[in-house]
Amino acid sequence: MSRVPQRSRRLLASACWEPTRPPRLTVVLALAACCAAAAPPDRGGFAIHEVAPPFQAGSTRIRVLLPDRLDPGRKYPAVYVLPVERGGENRYGDGLGEVKRRDLHNRHPAVFVAPEFSHLPWYADHPTDPCIRQESHFVQVVVPFIESRYPVRAEADGRWLLGFSKSGWGALSLLLRHPDLFGKAAAWDAPLMKDRPDQFGMDAVFGGQDNFENYRIAGLLARRAAELRGRTRIVLLGYGNFREHHQQAHQLLERLGIPHDYRDGPARIHDWHSGWVEEAVQWLFADPR
């Protein structure tokens, strides 16, 4: 595992950059480069980088799973397997482990990436806490870090998002807030139609209703509808706990005229290992319509 130098870890853990004074992207990239080195695969076959970015409370990891064979000169899609838990917690399983277990990185050659976050991930920037800036961490640190170190396509059509529950919300909100940065999003069993940050640890990240409105999926869909009426970029897969949310999101997408794929089932257990990940990856690699 590549490690953050101890001096850098102490320095960066002591302070996060204020939201009102965001660092230039070049500064963020330079910081990430100095604080993480190339990592050999661990016993699980993942390359693990430990980075100390300015948007999180201390260092976090980025795990990477490569195809067994990389063709020289080829650029691969980057599939971001978004976590539902903070740090390395795995109550709901391991998304990157599921990709490897099903050999999806070889059957669908891509660079699969699993970032980590210091707080429960809702993929938002807190309005006042500089150490809970999850969207900034992902967009300004994780994505550029991967593109500076791995043979991936540095374009929207090569940046794909995959998640469930909180990270299904995250996949959709990141696509909707950054439609020029990300090309596709696959969400399974996510509370997509939440209209208040009143459950599941949401308020600690969103910091209130006013900021939540910047990330509310229904509002983002309405604002982005005209931009999303081309090819299909969104899939809503089956359900475990949040079938009603997916049904309502599908109905809203239909009313807004946004092309998408929708699969009402099958019902599965609410974790990474219930079979939906393979279906989501297959969809990401299917020819766009």
Domain segments of the chain: what residues? 6-285
DSSP tally for the chain: helices H, then strands E: 12, 8
Does the pLDDT of residue 289 top 90, yes or no? Answer: no
User: So what's the pLDDT on residue 45?
Assistant: 87
| Mean pLDDT score of the chain | 89
CB count in 10 Å sphere of residue 66: 19
Element (H, E) at 255: helix 243-256
Q: Give the model's confidence band at 218: pLDDT under 50 very low, under 70 low, under 90 confident, else very high.
A: very high
User: So what's the pLDDT on residue 33?
Assistant: 46
Query: Does residue 184 contact residue 80 with C-beta atoms inside 8 Å?
Result: no
The whole-angstrom separation of Cα 190 and Cα 246 is 7
Taking CA atoms, 268 is separated from 52, 136, 221, 263, 276, in Å, by 36, 32, 26, 13, 8
Q: DSSP class of residue 125?
A: B
- Between 36 and 256, residue with greater pLDDT: 256
Q: Give the model's confidence band at 206: pLDDT under 50 very low, under 70 low, under 90 confident, else very high.
A: very high
Q: What does pTM read for this prediction?
A: 0.89
Q: Give the model's confidence band at 25: pLDDT under 50 very low, under 70 low, under 90 confident, else very high.
A: very low
Domain 6-285, CATH: 3.40.50.1820
User: Tens digit of pLDDT for each residue in 227-248?
Assistant: 999 999 999 999 999 999 999 9
CB count in 10 Å sphere of residue 198: 10
Q: DSSP class of residue 275?
A: S
- Between 129 and 7, residue with greater pLDDT: 129
User: Tens digit of pLDDT for each residue in 149-187?
Assistant: 999 999 999 999 999 999 999 999 999 999 999 999 999
